Amino acid sequence: MKKLLILSGKGGTGKTTLAGAFVRLGRVGAFADCDVDAPNLHLLYLDLPTPKTSDYYGMGVPEIDTAICNGCGICEAHCRFHAIEVQKGYAYCDSFACEGCGLCEYVCPQHAIKMMPNVAGRMMLFTSTKEEVFGPEGKISNSHSNDALVIMENVAARSRVVFSSAELKMGSGTSGKLVSEVKKNLNDSADEKETLAIIDGSPGIGCPVIASITGTDMVLIVAEPSISGISDMQRLVETAAFFGVQIAICVNKADTNLERTEDVKVFADLNNIPFLGCIPYDENVLVATNSGKSIVDLGGPAADAITTIFSQVKEYL
């Protein structure tokens, strides 16, 4: 099963719009949302059934036994994150500042500190059938579909759909670890006959992005035609290139700044990166998103451009 990861150097470029459209166009039966700090791919598939959920345990948090603690302050002195402070004769831990390293437990002479399991988020696994999610074979289910828009392939019936997602609790860390769990759930649950998995990644170049890139076959970077957007795209290209993964670039809302769009094309050409196309600004995207639908359900200029880009992506995969 080939894995396509869709990333962006910054938030708001439209990577989730593309991910949701690609899933719909290819009737993809295995997809995931690895933006665990703010997952939103499920908002384009409101008809999915209630997911199976499970707790995600991040790094442990210290539990301090005040009956044993004598307020010596050794734990406070050793904590480089300033998460422990002695108050009123006892050590107190700020769980939002704690990184779960466990050093406080190690240095406590009274053995008053124990690292306890910590629920840092929840994992969600949606399962359904292609007929329920995408409608009849070879058709886009929404009645407002553009007549000129066609599905790129009429695949044989492989009815199982698996969508893996997760969400961190506010202030929790270890987002990279949770991304790895999301991908593992997808791999373990997907139909072995599926040939393509689509992963919606996080913006930026941090831990969740690095965890998302691992084990993927291709990264499609959705660039924004702005100075900050291009700078963030360049950093993301460097990050993805470090892992040796195949990279391609497209520009969303390209007509909002034609000069910067041309800069993206030049950058891709100079770095021998495939440039797969431009997507125009299209208010139909807002209408579709607010309706809990993919843009390809509604049609329009953006849907046509995304369809063309998806066709090219499949050629590179």
DSSP letters spanning 124-137: EEEEEEHHHHH-ST
298 and 310, same domain (yes or no):
yes
Measured CA to CA in angstroms, residue 243 lies from 122, 203, 236, 293 at distances of 28, 17, 11, 34
pLDDT at 158: 52
270 and 156, same domain (yes or no):
yes
* Residue 19 counted as domain residue: yes
Q: 80-138, pLDDT tens digit by residue?
A: 999 999 999 999 999 889 999 999 999 999 999 999 999 999 999 999 888 888 877 65
Long-range contacts of 313-316 (CB under 8 A, 24+ apart): 313/4, 313/22, 313/218, 313/220, 313/248, 313/276, 314/26, 314/152, 314/153, 314/196, 316/218, 316/246, 316/248, 316/274
pLDDT at 105: 97
Which domain, by its residues, includes 204? Answer: 2-56+129-316
153 and 273, same domain (yes or no):
yes
**What distance in Å separates the CA atoms of residue 165 and residue 183, rounded to the nearest whole number?**
9
Query: Roughly how many angstroms between the first and final C-alpha of the chain, as a whole number?
Result: 10
Decide which of 141 and 62 is more confident: 62
For residue 275, give both structure tokens. Answer: 């440039």
165 and 93, same domain (yes or no):
no
Mean pLDDT of 183-201: 92
* Residue 124 counted as domain residue: no
Q: 273-313, pLDDT tens digit by residue?
A: 999 999 999 999 999 999 888 999 989 999 999 999 999 99
84 and 133, same domain (yes or no):
no
For residue 226, give both structure tokens. Answer: 């702005």
* 149 pLDDT more than 50: no
Residue 290: is it exposed, middle or buried by C-beta count within 10 angstroms (0-12/13-18/19+)? exposed
Judged by DSSP in three states, 235 sits in: helix
Number of domains in the chain: 2
Q: Give the end of a domain, one of 97, 117, 137.
A: 117
188 and 275, same domain (yes or no):
yes
Q: At what angle do helices 15-25 and 301-316 cross, to 10 degrees?
A: 70
297 and 223, same domain (yes or no):
yes
63 and 36, same domain (yes or no):
no
**What distance in Å separates the CA atoms of residue 282 and residue 198, rounded to the nearest whole number?**
23
pLDDT at 160: 86
Q: What is the pTM of this model?
A: 0.86
